[in-house]
Structure 1
Amino acid sequence: MDTAAWLGAFAALASTLSFAPQAWKVIRSRRTKDISAVMYGFTVTGFALWSAYGIALMQWPIIVCNTICLLLAAFILFMKLSPQRVKDEVADRIDPAG
């Protein structure tokens, strides 16, 4: 693999992993008060567009990375916009011990 491919792989990995801690924190704490819905709205839109771009080019690294980021960011946005009852139900399903 050349330098550009390694850079791309590490960038994709870092981008993908960056949303996991926030999603897990939302599940564990069930709190989203300090999360910006507008920021996550733009983030979800951006990842959806990047995924579409990857599909248009048939570039699997772009598709996979951005689709995973899209799902994680959309989950966080969903939890942000949901009433507390729904947050609790979702968190209980994902982490019953929480």
Structure 2
Amino acid sequence: MAVRTVHVMISGRVQGVGYRAWTADEAVARGLSGWVRNRRDGGVEAVFSGQAATVDAMVAACSGGPPLAAVRAVDAEERELAEEGAFRVLPTV
């Protein structure tokens, strides 16, 4: 199966609502590699790498997020290089 890697920007009420922890839990449960972090502009940024169908499902799930989130937009762009290793939470940029 093909590996797919996407860079995702999520906007809306996505900080202070457990969005990063939810993203990490979901990505680990799905067996994805990559990372998630808050951005100083109030958004969340993530990279997901894994089987194409699983990555697609994760990106779709980001539109909902955890119960307290109010996602306005999820913008995903393809990346050429696959992420490897455990999914991780990175510091805010």
TM over 0.5: no
RCO (CA 8 Å, sep 6+): is it higher in 1 or 2? Answer: 2
TM-score per shorter chain, which class?
Answer: under 0.3
Structure exhibiting the larger radius of gyration computed from Cα positions: 1
TM-score (norm 1): 0.26
**Structure ranking higher in strand proportion:** 2
